[in-house]
Amino acid sequence: MQSKETSTPQIKRSKLPKQIRQGFGIIVLLLILWRLYLVFGVEQEYTVDIWARLLISGLVIGGVYSLIAIGYTLVYGILRMINFAHGEVMMVGTFAGYLVLEATKSITVPTPDNTLLSFSNAYPIISVILAFAIGMLIAATTGYFLEKIAYRPLRKAPRLIPLISAIGASIFLQNFAQLLFSPQTRDYVNPDIISRGAGWTMMINDSQVILPYTGVLTFVLSILLMIGLYTMIKKTKLGKAMRSVAMDKQTAALMGIDVNVIISRTFIISGALAGAAGVMWGLHNGLVYYFVGFLPGIKAFTAAVMGGIGNIPGAMLGGMLLGLMESLGPTALGISYQLKDVISFVILIVILIFRPNGILGEALSEEKV
């Protein structure tokens, strides 16, 4: 067995894959620009008030997506796994809030002027707070048990296995909810003062544009929760522990951090945020059914990736951006509203092709040497 004594063969480089990718990108970009030009430049049938409405709804849904996206990013940062069942945790929160509001609706309290009001109408603020509190609590508990039962035993397994387990857990939770509550879609009954559709009216362009109460509540509350979470991560001991476990589990353990406890707490927090998002969804969109978590879950994951997976401000930014893109997108591109979900998926694919780091994040999505 001799080493090659022949001359070194000419070394050919192949640029084809990169060229294909760049070509593809340019085509997509041109398509988008063309559509935008058509809509804005040529047809111009959408007036400012329409854009205003879309903007509002985009910001609202963006808040919801941000909260769920943070959950994905937290879990991914700490376990390097995609919590496929996170959408179902949101669904649990939505249902919990629903049940609370149903309960408060059916309890009647006497009022000073001797009429009977439901508890939820007599004390709407307390009812809503209660709905959020219990929604977040139950969702947090679900997240905790999810990790304990379906993920913890698989901590050391190759990546494929926990993902399958997560998929199984997601299917399980969905169907459990379906069996428990029937496949029927239910309506959230908000307390009267924040019923859906009610809000402050503004006049834009001679058209009435409503700033819905539920929308404002959702947006403000999500911002508050995001600020709270960010502060917690940056300033508290728990936050520091979470960050260190995310960076290097072994070293964190050597420093005396109980890794299992931190992981549990991460799931609890991400569950609570998803639960809040779920209740917001219910209040604003009004629907709850067993499958309600699936699409928001995937879209929120897209948002987390868009912002940079593992990066918390990135998840917040990604969520908002995705909400806006989803809301404004179909109209801006002149395509049917039916296809708005396609926009999210396409964004996901496009981001992962061209900028897997996300907007703010690190390159966790490509193979490392």
Partner 1 sequence: MNEIAIKVDQVSKIFGGLTAVNQVNLEIPQKTIYSIIGPNGAGKTTLFNCISGFYVPEKGKILYFGQEIQGLSTDLIASVGISRTYQNIRLFSNLTALENIMIGLHPKFRSNWVDAIVHSPRYLREDKETKQEAIRLLNFVGLAGYGDYLAFNLPYGVQRRLEIGRALANQPRILLLDEPTAGMNMQETQSTTEFIKKLRDDLGITIILIEHDMQVVMGISDRISVLDYGTKIAEGNAAEVQSNPKVIEAYLGPGGAALAEKFQKQRRSNVKSH
Partner 2 sequence: MNRQEFQKFSQHGLVFAIIMIFLVLIDFQTMFATVISKILGTNVLRGGLPEVQFMVIFLVLYSLWMGWFIARKEENKSRRIIMTLVASLSAGVVVGLFGLILNSLIQSGTDVRRYLAALSPESMKLFLLNLEGLGPLALLGVFTVSGLLGSVLSIILQSPSVSKWPKTIKTGISSTWQKITGSLPPFIRKNAKFLAYLVLGIVIIVLPTRWGSYNNFVTGLVGLYIILGIGLNIIVGLSGQLVLGFAAFFAMGAYSMAILNAPLPHGLMWGFWPALLVGVLMAVVAAILLGLPMMRLRGDYLAIVTLGFGEIIRILLKSDLLSNFSGGPRGIQDIKGPTIFGFPFNNDVQFTYLIIAGVILSIFVYKRLENSRTGRAWLAIKEDAIAARATGINVQRNKLLALCIGAAFAGLAGAFFAARNQFTGPNDHTLMVSINILSIVIVGGMNSIPGIILGAFTLKGLPEILREMENYRLLVFGGLLVFMMIARPDGLWPAKRPQLEKKIKPDTRDGDSPGKGDKNE
Binding site for partner 1 (CB under 8 A): 1-5, 8-13, 369
What is the rounded distance in angstroms from the CA atom of residue 297 to the CA atom of residue 83? 10
What is the rounded distance in angstroms from the CA atom of residue 58 to the CA atom of residue 37? 21
Alpha helices in 147-212 (DSSP H): 160-181
Taking the complex as a whole, how short is the minimal distance between the CB of residue 74 and partner 1, in angstroms? 25
Lookup: tokens for 45: 């049938």
Binding to partner 2 by CB under 8 A, coded x per residue (else -) over 303-342, reads: --x-----------------------------xx-xx-xx
Residue 3 touches which of partner 1, partner 2, none (Cβ within 5-8 Å per kind): partner 1
- Under the binding rule (CB under 8 A), the answer on residue 247 touching partner 2 is no
What b-and-e string marks burial along 121-139, b requiring 16 or more CB atoms within 10 Å of the CB? bbbbeebbebbbbbbbbbb
For residue 165, count CB atoms less than 10 angstroms from its CB and return exposed for 0-12, middle for 13-18, buried for 19 or more.
buried
Binding to partner 2 by CB under 8 A, coded x per residue (else -) over 58-97, reads: -----------------------xx---------------
Decide whether 99 or 324 has the Cβ nearer to partner 2: 99
Residue 4 touches which of partner 1, partner 2, none (Cβ within 5-8 Å per kind): partner 1
Please tell me whether residue 6 adopts helix, strand or coil conformation: coil
CB contact at 8 A, 78 and 263: yes
For helices 259-285 and 48-79, give the axis angle rounded to 10 degrees: 160
Site for partner 2, residues 251 to 310, rule: CB under 8 A: 298, 301-302, 305
Nearest of 258, 254, 229, 228 to residue 241 by alpha carbon:
258
Decide whether 175 or 231 has the Cβ nearer to partner 2: 175
Lookup: tokens for 75: 């879990």
Q: Site for partner 2 (CB under 8 A): which residue of 175, 205, 208, 251?
A: 175
Taking the complex as a whole, how short is the minimal distance between the CB of residue 205 and partner 2, in angstroms? 30
Decide whether 81 or 238 has the Cβ nearer to partner 2: 81
Site for partner 2, residues 206 to 235, rule: CB under 8 A: none
For residue 148, count CB atoms less than 10 angstroms from its CB and return exposed for 0-12, middle for 13-18, buried for 19 or more.
middle
Lookup: tokens for 220: 């403000």
Lookup: tokens for 234: 């940056």
**287-290 contact pairs (CB < 8 A, 24+):** 287/185, 287/186, 287/187, 287/188, 288/91, 288/94, 288/95, 288/98, 288/185, 288/186, 288/187, 288/188, 289/181, 289/183, 289/184, 289/185, 289/186, 290/91, 290/174, 290/175, 290/177, 290/178, 290/181, 290/183
Contact window for partner 2 (CB under 8 A) among 150-158, 235-243, 267-275, 313-321? 150-158
Task: For residue 288, report the phi and psi dihedrals to the nearest 5 degrees.
Answer: -140, 130
- Under the binding rule (CB under 8 A), the answer on residue 20 touching partner 2 is yes
Nearest of 137, 154, 149 to residue 173 by alpha carbon:
149
The site that binds partner 2 (CB under 8 A) totals a number of residues, namely: 57
Decide whether 121 or 365 has the Cβ nearer to partner 2: 365
- Interacting residues of 80 by C-beta distance below 8 A, sequence separation 6+: 159, 364
Site for partner 2, residues 339 to 368, rule: CB under 8 A: 339, 341-342, 345-346, 348-349, 352-353, 356, 364-367
What is the rounded distance in angstroms from the CA atom of residue 24 to the CA atom of residue 206? 43
Residue 1 touches which of partner 2, partner 1, none (Cβ within 5-8 Å per kind): partner 1
Residue 210 touches which of partner 2, partner 1, none (Cβ within 5-8 Å per kind): none
Residue 235 touches which of partner 2, partner 1, none (Cβ within 5-8 Å per kind): none
Decide whether 55 or 167 has the Cβ nearer to partner 2: 167
Taking the complex as a whole, how short is the minimal distance between the CB of residue 206 and partner 2, in angstroms? 32
- Under the binding rule (CB under 8 A), the answer on residue 11 touching partner 2 is no
- Under the binding rule (CB under 8 A), the answer on residue 174 touching partner 2 is yes
The residues binding partner 2 (CB under 8 A) are 17, 20-21, 24, 81-82, 99, 102, 149-150, 153-154, 157, 159-165, 167-176, 179-182, 184, 298, 301-302, 305, 335-336, 338-339, 341-342, 345-346, 348-349, 352-353, 356, 364-367, 369
